[in-house]
Structure 1
Amino acid sequence: MEALDLARWQFGITTVYHFIFVPLTIGLSLLVAIMQTVAMRAKDEIARDAWIRLTRFFGSMLIINFGIGIATGIVQEFQFGMNWSEYSRYVGDIFGAPLALEGLVAFFLESVFLGLWIFGWDRLPAKIHLLTIWCVAIGTMASGYFIIAANSFMQHPVGATLNEATGRAELDPEKGSILSVLTNVTTLAAFPHVIAGAWLVAAAFVTGIAAWHMVNHHNRARAAEAGSREAADHAHLAQRVFRPAVRFGTIGMFVAGIVLVISGDFQAQILFRQQPMKMASAEALCETQAGAPFSILTVGGPDAFSQDCSSVTHLIELPNLTSFLATHTFDATLQGVDDVNAQYKEQFGETVTDIHGVEHEADYRPNLFVTYWSFRLMIGLAVFSAILAFWALWVTRGKGESARTTGSGAFKWFALLAMPMPFLANSAGWVFTEMGRQPWVVYPNPDDPTIRLMTMQGVSSHPSWMVVTSLVVFTLVYGALAVVWFELMRKAALKGIPAPKRDQQTDEIDTPVLSFGY
């Protein structure tokens, strides 16, 4: 393999691996902040105690995930200088600005206030302590915004001009400069979609873990001697602690799902205008067509695994749906992969020169197989969350004394199965976003295509063995971190929440002094 292929593999592996932690941190910080807010506002002592315990329980997992996420995210910054130095030279003046803001503003906000939140229990006034976790949640979302702004410049460059003398892209005050980069329409469309995806990840995470414990405590209460303290404690944990958490996570999944659908529809319309090749490849639409259908299942020969459209066969289709997704009209004409490729060859050239000065025949088509199926996995894996949400609402239906819990083993195991699906859907979405942009690393703006860069022109001129070495080292380190993360999260999740202590004379709940021990 050439250095270019190895560098792409390394960036893909490290990015997808790092992004396992990002949406959970973003989403869980918000959910934990809401949990603590509910605890503070609760007038019922039992409800307050339950939400405090849930805040601490899921807060411990937030801290673990945050720490591992930092360790894996640092590598991302280094790669721009190590493997993609030509890219960094070309757009570093612009691309570096939102990354600097992410570090100076968002990261410091979330890390400083997370420290205050951890060590501020019973040291800070209650409202100030609550404010700290809300600052963490705001910081994580701000961090996501700046990163998306940087990525959106790669998808749709704005606010910059090409300096012919230096061969570098530079911020241009006449085109809006950094403000245009931060308010790029691509950023504004992608941000709510990415944040909603993070909420879905965290909500499914909370629902899955809470469902596991609810079912277990329900069954233990049934197995214990009727009327005993053991039975009462397990029943209390099932109904008054974990059942509210299940329903809380379920509401989060519904909210996230609604935002995902609305923002995804808006983003799709923008992408059909800005990156017609990506969206044509997502549908395996080879030829320009009016009233383009949406395919549910497509098969093809060996060439379908690359850019070639000729061997693709659509087996199951929904008539006119792709045209509707693109323009909200059923008869719109959409460009096909081959036609966009021909247009780009005429516009950008029949050949392209790499960093070594070698001329190659230009091919502006992405990997069709990866683009097509990553788009469908992004959507299809969300079905698990929808099933879990409706199932959870059904088994926990009722209010007050008639509020239900369940001992269903099928529900418990499905909740665990559904937990990683939003993670995988998020990863598939980013694979689609980045692979569908190929062979461009900076996709030309249709209105001003002067700033553009192909992937083969952005890589560093390393020999292959150097990239292999760093790829192997990073993969081994990340593998070790994955084991550590999984074990820490597994132990924290299985630890559960202890039964509340009760006053022996009054039988009232004795809410413990809150503190974190790390």
Structure 2
Amino acid sequence: MDVLDLARWQFGITTVYHFLMVPLTIGLSLLVACMQTAWVRTGNRRYLAMTKFWGKLLLINFAMGVVTGIVQEFQFGMAWSEYSRFVGDVFGAPLAMEGLVAFFVESTFLGLWIFGWDRLSKRAHLACVWAFSLATVASAYFILSANSWMQHPVGVELVDGRPRLTSIWEVLTNSTVLVAFPHAIAGALAVAGAFLVGIAAWHLWRRRDGAHDDVWRSSLRLGTVVGVLAFGGLAISGDLQSKLMFDQQPMKMAAAEALCHTERPAGFSVFAVGDLAGQDCENVTSITVPALLSFLANGDFDSEVTGIQDLVERYRAEYGEFYPVDERLGELSGQPIDYVPNLPVTYWGFRLMIAFGAAGAAVGVVVWWLTRRGRVPESRWFPRLALAGIAAPFLGNSFGWIFTEMGRQPFVVAPNPSGVDGVWMFTAQAVSGLTVGEVLTSLIALTLVYGVLAVVEVVLIRRYVRGGVAAVLPPPEPEKTAEDDAEDDDVLSFAY
């Protein structure tokens, strides 16, 4: 492997691992805020128990998310310094906003929420958890604004070979982020919903904490409703996102369908068998839904969808046939540019994203149906199914991001097809001038550190999940009798 390959592996490993924490934090913070709102409004101790239990798991995940997220900042400067220089003037504003929200608003109100249970009024304490959760959502918006600029650069002009920000408003209202944000939030809620369903179902099956069955049933119902609604939101926002991608990054969507040749109308490939690595698709057999891809691309069952081979010719005409002659590009200097992303990864990543998202919602519905009217299956497959359902939306989110980033190759900053900016950057140009040994060392070190952090998180989550409500909420104090009051008045009662 060369420096570019190692740097990409390092970015992929650290980013995908970090993103396991992000959707759970976003989704769970909103649900915990809703739980505490229900407790403040009704006074029902069940909602307090839910807030305490799920809030504890939220705090563990949030702490790990912060630790793993910090590495991303160092990684850009270490392995991707050329990229950092190129996007620095643009990313400075949204990342500064995210930093202020994440490390000021989030940390401040999270601290008040953690230590304010007995020191703040109920409503003031509730306001803290809402401020924290909404700040988490806002933080996600600023990060997605930066990522969306990489997918569709706007609000800049090219000065001395680098983009210079001319309108932060255009960056924050980029059409790409306006559809990516609801899709990401829906994905986060799907993760949180499956998390509630899996753990609550396991506790119901375990039945060692029978006094709190109402907590687990309420959590399971909430998780099911949220999971199903989130999947609906994913489907709607995903459709809007795909239509935009056909416009902004046609090669990504053609690769997602293994559409090697232009078709009119174009069918949606449900499943493909054969060698997807080839750009002619001669050895690929697909099971397709006729004309569906045309509708997904343009809302029209008869429209034409451009295939990979025609897009390659278009890209070569617009962005060049060869990489620049530059020693920093290593072996790619002056070589032909491969404009086709990794077809197997892009094609199957797109399908696995959809499949795992649907599986998470389906498991939630099945578990809810099996536990209706107070029933709980005795079979061991029931908790295994519920716990396996937790992994499904996590995997769906991960494959979605892999598809988004891999499908953009060979660009790290994809060109705006309207040509208004003339701004793009090849991934090969973005890597730092490091040696193979240096990048390999950091890759191994970071992977080992992340492996240790994964063990720590799993151990902590497992401990508090097994502890149940009793581990986070003390039992209510019994009412005092007249005899108890008399004993309290006896100054020597402690001696008896």
Output the TM-score relative to the length of structure 1: 0.88
1:277 is matched with 251
Distance in 2, matches of 1:74 and 1:262, equals 33
Per the TM alignment, residue 404 of structure 1 is displaced from its structure 2 partner at its CA by 4.7
1:321 matched to 2:292? The reply is yes
Q: Are the equivalent residues in 1 in contact too, given 2:47–2:215 (CA < 8 A)?
A: yes
Question: Residue deviations 1:398-430, cap 9 Å, x none?
Answer: 5xxxx5555454332211011111111100000
1:451 is matched with 423
- SS at the partner of 1:297? strand
Paired-residue identity, %:
52
Distance in 2, matches of 1:191 and 1:383, equals 19
AA paired with 1:26?
I
Q: Tell me how many residue pairs correspond in the alignment.
A: 473
- SS at the partner of 1:334? coil
Q: Would the alpha carbon gap of residues 465 and 77 (structure 1) be closer, same or farther in structure 2, given more than 3 Å must change?
A: same
1:82 is matched with 78
Distance in 2, matches of 1:72 and 1:85, equals 20
AA paired with 1:460?
S
Of 416, 419, 439, the match for 2:390 = 419
1:464 matched to 2:458? The reply is no
Distance in 2, matches of 1:168 and 1:34, equals 45
Q: Would the alpha carbon gap of residues 416 and 494 (structure 1) be closer, same or farther in structure 2, given more than 3 Å must change?
A: same
Of 85, 89, 103, the match for 2:99 = 103
- SS at the partner of 1:444? coil
Per the TM alignment, residue 322 of structure 1 is displaced from its structure 2 partner at its CA by 1.0
1:253 matched to 2:249? The reply is no
Question: Residue deviations 1:306-356, cap 9 Å, x none?
Answer: x63434413311111111111111111001011101111011111112652
Q: Would the alpha carbon gap of residues 311 and 462 (structure 1) be closer, same or farther in structure 2, given more than 3 Å must change?
A: farther
Cα-Cα RMSD: 1.8
Distance in 1, matches of 2:397 and 2:357, equals 9
Distance in 2, matches of 1:355 and 1:8, equals 20
- Where does structure 2 lack aligned partners over 5 or more consecutive residues? 482-496
1:388 is matched with 363
- SS at the partner of 1:138? helix
Distance in 2, matches of 1:396 and 1:37, equals 26
The within-5 A match list for 1:47-58 is 48-58=44-54
Q: Are the equivalent residues in 2 in contact too, given 1:107–1:143 (CA < 8 A)?
A: no
Per the TM alignment, residue 91 of structure 1 is displaced from its structure 2 partner at its CA by 1.8
2:381 is matched with 410
Question: Residue deviations 1:452-474, cap 9 Å, x none?
Answer: 11101111111111100110110
Per the TM alignment, residue 297 of structure 1 is displaced from its structure 2 partner at its CA by 1.4
Distance in 2, matches of 1:337 and 1:189, equals 25
Distance in 1, matches of 2:391 and 2:155, equals 38
Of 254, 258, 266, the match for 2:240 = 266
2:15 is matched with 15
1:362 matched to 2:337? The reply is yes
- SS at the partner of 2:286? strand
1:138 is matched with 134
Distance in 2, matches of 1:71 and 1:118, equals 19
Distance in 2, matches of 1:27 and 1:119, equals 22
- SS at the partner of 2:327? coil
Distance in 1, matches of 2:422 and 2:220, equals 52
Q: Would the alpha carbon gap of residues 140 and 167 (structure 1) be closer, same or farther in structure 2, given more than 3 Å must change?
A: same
2:493 is matched with none
Of 271, 277, 295, the match for 1:297 = 271
